[in-house]
Structure 1
């Protein structure tokens, strides 16, 4: 069994124009970092012309599909019957995207199958991380 899950999703960028632009995004989950989810947008979809990734907690995504969650750089909330809004706050401004909630639930189900909620600590590499930290300080 692979220790990484990647899933492509279609995100709809919320803009001031009435038509929302659809752009590809990739959700990423790695058993080696069991509390985190990453969402990446390819270079052609960004203003900077370089891939942009946002990392946030799996719990934030799970909670945000049912009720507003987050107070920092990433915020998630339900929108209508079948969509979830993800807000990404940066110095340059706020990007808001809609993703089908069913796609997010499918991704989180796969992550749950890989690392059950509550068992994340079993997959953390604390010994390796502690060794690296001590090597850097010495």
Structure 2
């Protein structure tokens, strides 16, 4: 089965700079697998906060991750400066799928592509419809 090629910057709608840290590298000298998911989560959280989505405290929007994954195309690690590209590939009634690519330096081709499926829940953990204002904001990075 042929492998899907890595996406390019043109495939994404929002971008966040991300700096790797010394502690991100593992014994083999490349970035630890778990660190990729942490960087993806940070890029999503910062984008949400910058766009007025309250993700902390009692009034926070409560998205729960129900699935995630990562495809690796080329290595990154400390001291690489990265850019995270974000795009929504699905926006449902209570959930969305967001994809995050990490680009090394000024490279146009992604080194990695990750995804999270998030479900909006009420305080009891029950899925709840995404409000119209939040849906409109998420739509700004939706890939048609």
Q: TM-score range by the shorter chain?
A: under 0.3
**Which is richer in strand?**
1
Larger relative contact order, structure 1 or 2 (CA cutoff 8 Å, min sep 6): 2
**Which is richer in helix?**
1
Q: Which has more radius of gyration?
A: 1
> Normalising to structure 1: TM-score of the pair?
0.27
> Normalising to structure 2: TM-score of the pair?
0.26
